[in-house]
Amino acid sequence: MKYVEGSKRVFLDTGIRFQRRIVQAIGIIKVAAARTNVSLGLLDRPTGEAIVKAGEEVVAGAEEASRLLGRKVHPNDHVNMGQSSNDVGPSTMRVAAVSAVWEELVPALKQTISSLTRLSRKTSSVYKAGRTHLRDALPVTMGQEFEAYANAFREDLKSVTSAAAYASELPMGGTAVGTGLNTDPRFGTMVAIEISRMTGLKFVKARNTFRATRLLTDLASLSGGLRSIALDLYRLCQDLRLMFSGPITGLGEIDIPTQEEVAGSSIMPGKTNPITVESALLACAQVMGLDEANKVSAMLGEFELSMGVPLMGHNLVSQIRLLVEALLKVSTVVLDSVSPREARSRRFAESSPALVTVISPRIGYDKAAAIGKKLEGGLSIREALKDLGYGEKEIDKILDLKRLVRPGIPIREIAK
């Protein structure tokens, strides 16, 4: 009876299976281990080659080296030589997660940064009302808002790749408890080199195999990096959704043509919704939820082994897959099609009561606040400035939006 068949009675059978990337990682590790054992003279070449062949076929679903060799290959004596589930399991999850970061997540993040940077340049002279607490604030440019997110994702990229580098330390060679009993002292280093060669990524033997089998702090840090990406993407999508709200009674500061290609209601003809944006919001919520599970996973275990390895690995690959899909869709479907409604945005910027801030350095906070109340009642900032004795040309300069979206004290500059 195979192990999987015998385990069904005692394990939970929920229908959830490890992702293909994790299966691939197991195959990679078994191939690397077999090649290393052959190189060390611990495993005969024909048996080693059969294991390598089977390992390479694991990705496609094959699982029997005995069939390929034509004679018995023992799962423990041969395939698992010099290994324990306690060093292979944690190594597998690290190889799977780190590979997913570099091969999928990093390109998706770079695509998002590129889309945001282009959009920031495109909207660099589109003026809009800033908003804090969803209340009118001082003017900003749409480009400044999008560049803020581009900057955030650049920092996220640094953080997640740094965490991935930490998670690239593998406990291979530590065997059951980290001591390395029953394995060649060179085994762990050689396996890491072979895994690096096979994946094109840098993996190394953990500086402390005891740490890498008992603690998942490195993977928890990686999960935290994914959470940060999800948080920033969530905020971006919320802002996009508000800017797209309308078309009549909302902000209506941008158009997103791709979000109007699919009907948004079965009862309200012509209604459309920001479906890609909202789908990304749901994906981000799931990523953050899985991060909470990962915190608990990292705490599971006592002494020499963490029990949270399987859940942590499964969650990390799931988080990355969700983020990749959300980032790419938001970038290519949403950001690349955003069209600013410049006139409407400028009108909001010029009518914000917060513009009274411009004259605050001259007349003082209290008087400016009193005028601000009048602005809320319908008085324009231009009329308020006239009442204070400023001429039309001076007012034009004071309310020049180009001045108001950069550092400086406009009213003092005008007075000069």
**Residue recorded with tokens 């204070």:** 388
Query: Choosing from 85, 162, 265, 351, which is the catalytic residue?
Result: 265
- 133 to 12, 136, 137, 146, 239: CA distances (angstroms): 47, 8, 9, 19, 13
Q: Which residue has the tokens 């940064």?
A: 113
Active site residue 265: yes
d(CA 107, CA 60) in angstroms, rounded, equals 25
The conformational region for residue 60 under phi > 0 = left, psi -120 to 50 = alpha, else beta, is alpha
Cβ contact 56:35 at 8 Å = no
- 8 Å CB contact between 65 and 54: yes
Residues making up the chain, counted from first to last: 416
Is position 84 annotated as part of the catalytic site? no
Q: Annotated active-site positions, please?
A: 133, 265
